[in-house]
Amino acid sequence: MHSFQVRRAFGAALLSVVLAFLAAVQAPVASAVSCPDVEVVFARGTSPRPGLGTVGTAFVSSLKWKLLGKRVSYYAVNYPASWNFSKSTNAGAVDANKHVQYIAGMCPETKIVLGGMSQGAGVIDLILIGNRTVWFFKPVPLPDAMVDHVAAVAVFGNPARDVYGGGPLTSISPLYGNKAIDLCADGDPYCSRGLNFFAHFAYTRNGMVDEAATFAARRVLGRDA
């Protein structure tokens, strides 16, 4: 009888340890699936180190201020941002496409804001223009079902506007054009026929980042911009 009681006590103690272990394992999982209200997916321009880049950082910061009270997270598109434009831009489009679908699948209520600067704008172009080809760039179109998850798009210094002969994203994207703002600084040679190279680096100072953040915030909040 004494032996039976010892075994029962040992079994109860072991069960308590197992349950405590399972609780500890499951707690981080519940935390990991906590979804933001807004996810910004931004592709930096050519050459800066991995991350959002100067324009992307300013855009996310401005958007957060305009959406106070909402949880805003961001994802920096993982791509080379190198001078090998066709290969680099395509790699960025593949990564951005995968991340948008991942967020839409894991967090279906999260509103996605897409953005890009210069070559990064080209990355965003390639996932939003359908099967339309712009010069030597290969499109990586998002599935049509993603349109309901993307609230807004903001691109800066977009080469497709003029240099590559496509046009602004607002006109060349069949599903996302009405959700987009495509900004080109006066004289910026990368998105127009201007010759002011300094204009290409002025987006954080010329008011256009704030303009884009205002546009995106209004769309996130369900107001037509």
Residues tagged active-site: 118, 188, 200
For residues 77 and 41, is the Cβ–Cβ distance under 8 A? yes
For residues 120 and 56, is the Cβ–Cβ distance under 8 A? yes
SS3 114: strand
Residue type, 222: G
SS3 152: strand
Measured in residues, the chain has a length of 225
For residues 173 and 128, is the Cβ–Cβ distance under 8 A? yes
Four-CA torsion 137, 142, 148, 149, nearest 10 degrees: -90
φ/ψ region of 172 (left if φ > 0, alpha if ψ in -120 to 50, else beta) reads alpha
Please state the separation of Cα 128 from the chain's center in Å. 13
